[in-house]
A and B are shown apart, each in its own frame.
Chain A
Amino acid sequence: MQSRQIEITVGLFILLGIVALSFLAIQVSGLSFADARRDTYALSAQFNTVAGLTPRAKVMVAGVAVGHVRAIHIDPITVRAVVEMAIDKDVDYLTTDSIASIKTAGVLGEQYVSIAVGGAPDILKAGDTIKDTQSAMILEDLISKFATSFTDKK
């Protein structure tokens, strides 16, 4: 076989490898270069418990994704979970009395942060903290509460 033909085929082979890797990166792992470059600003919120919320979870307003969770850690003083979120720059309607809550999509679905916008005149700025929060609903706690109230009545 001609060496030119060999080189072309090998070139196609390597190109196929690059295509496969980009397919895995973009379509399968959801790695998006547009996301990293998109302008966001930081907000944080403290919760009593985040119960299974993970980084990269969505942040939604009225069911529409407006950002994602960047990091979760524990505040050593209050011993509450601090959720750091990256919100898209064009979202400029989150008022200072907004309520952040952790919800679950479906019964077994993934968890996300839902922000309910209030009516205060001031808007949250970059680096602000959402003070009003509702922690994740933990099914086990709910069941144990129900069970104890049930036995108390008897």
Chain B
Amino acid sequence: MLGFLQRLGRSGLDTAAAFGRAGILLWQALWGPMDWRDGPALLFRQLYFVGVFSLIIIVVSGVLIGMVLALQGYTVLVRFGAESALGEMVSLTLLRELGPVVAALLFAGRAGSALTAEIGLMKATEQLAAMDMIGVDPLRRVARPRLWAGIISMPILAQVFNMVAILGAVAVGVSWLDVDAGSFWSNMQGTVDFREDVLNGVIKAFAFGIVVTWIAVFEGFDAEPTPEGISTATTRTVVYSSLAVLAMDFLLTALMFGVD
């Protein structure tokens, strides 16, 4: 009994300590004067690895999800003769929920895991310790550009996802299933509001970008410097960031579109 209580208490303390370490890492990495000499080059490099490399999976999944949404939406709507509302249905689903969430999940799997593995390996091969020895702060040099790259890339990726998904829906709905193109677009434009739907989606993607990269970078720095340690850290990044994204999505949806 006491042993159980002790284990429970220890895991609670460990969790609290991990949250504390994560907070300190975020603070120390983002705070402080900007390095104008090396900073932009490091950031561009990370934008390339984090953002551009995720583009292919985002575009391909976006097109496929848009096509599936259009096909499924059409089979239901056509029974009520309301297939002209297809554009409205697809675009609202994507802009408000599916776009930011699926893009963030893919981003966690594609870029988050890579970040954790990279930083974990840097730690295991004592590159981070070596940086410390020559007076370079690894949080500034390694964590900061990666965090910023993730925060900047995520909204861009989510909007690209939304765009190609809607184009995929057009391909299936208008070109294949013969929904009238005029009513498809005009119903969409009549119901989608720029501030309410598009901008709130951008804010969501922004929040998910912060959380996913934060978890990924923290797990990398916090990984045990062994092969097993790196692999568990990578798994944890994907699991934790997926759960965090889904939980945050509920909270943000309740705040943005909740019943008022």
Contact = CB atoms under 8 A, between A and B. Distances in A.
A108 to B, nearest CB: 6
Interface in B238-254: none
Interface of B: 41, 44-45, 47-48, 51-52, 55, 82, 91, 95, 153, 155-157, 159-160, 162-163, 166, 185, 187-190, 192-194, 197-198, 202
A23 B166 CA distance: 10
B48 A9 contact: yes
B213 to A, nearest CB: 16
A27 interface: yes
A144 interface: no
A13 interface: yes
A23 B44 CA distance: 25
Interface in A65-89: none
Contact of A31 (B155, B156, B163, B194): B194
Given A7-B44, A13-B47, A28 B159 contact: no
Contacts of A17: 155-157, 159-160
Interface in A13-57: 13-14, 16-17, 19-21, 23-25, 27-31, 56
B48 A28 contact: no
A6 interface: yes
23 contacts: A3-B41, A3-B44, A6-B44, A6-B45, A9-B52, A10-B44, A10-B52, A13-B52, A13-B156, A14-B47, A17-B157, A20-B160, A21-B202, A24-B159, A24-B163, A28-B188, A29-B189, A29-B197, A30-B189, A30-B190, A30-B192, A56-B190, A110-B187
